[in-house]
Homo-oligomer: A and B are copies of this chain.
Amino acid sequence: MSVATLEQPAAEPVQKPDESERLVIFAWSGELDKIWPTLILATTGAAMGKETTVFFTFWGLFPLVKNEVRITGENWMQKMLSMMNRGGTGHLKLSKMNFAGAGKAMMMHLAKEHNVASPQELMALAQEMGVKLVPCQMTMDLLGLKREDLIEGLEAPAGATTALAEAQGAITLFI
C-alpha cells in the first residue's frame, strides 16, 4: 500500500481475491518426508501472510486420522487397506529408506538435535497460524472415514472443485 493509495481510498479498484498472495498445497502423500515439506512450506507461507490451504487427498489423508483410531470401513477391503496404512502422524513412514524404521528414527533424532519441529508440532502450529487444513471428501468416502475419525481443527471436507477454485492465482504445489 503506497501513501497515495491511503490518501485516495475512493479511487481504489479493490484488490481482487485472486490477486492476494495465496498458497495451495495438494498433499497427496502420507509419508514423513513429504509431510515435512508440506507443513514447513504451509507454516512458512502463513507466517509470510499468505492465505494458505492444504488439501489432504489420497494417502495424504492418513496423517489426519486420529492416532487412536484405526480406519473403520464398512467392508473387508477397507479393513485390509486400513491395516496396511495406519493413520495419524504418530506412525508415518519415510518413503525412501525404512530399514525396519531405522531411517525414521534417525531423521526424527536429527531433527530434534537441530531444532526442527516434528510433524505433530508442525500440524499443531499450522492450525494455530490459521492454515486451512482441508480433508478430501472423496478419499474419506473411499476409506469409510467419518469426520469424527479425523483430528480436531480441520475445515469442512471438500472436493477437487473447491481445491481448484482456491488454487487459481495461488502458488500451487502437488506434494
Q: How far is the CB of A173 from chain B (nearest CB, A)?
A: 4
Check if A151 is an interface residue, CB within 8 A of chain B.
no
> Interface residue tally of chain A, by bracket?
35 or more
Q: How far is the CB of A33 from chain B (nearest CB, A)?
A: 6
Q: A165 to chain B: which residues have CB within 8 Å?
A: 48
Which residues of A does B touch, CB under 8 Å? 2, 4, 11, 13, 21, 23, 26, 28, 33-34, 36-37, 40-41, 44-45, 47-48, 50, 57-59, 75, 77-78, 80-81, 84-85, 96-97, 99, 103, 106-107, 109-111, 113-114, 116, 138, 141-142, 159-161, 163-165, 167-168, 170-175
Complex Cα gap A93–B113 (Å): 29
Residue of B nearest to A57 (CB): B37
Complex Cα gap A59–B26 (Å): 20
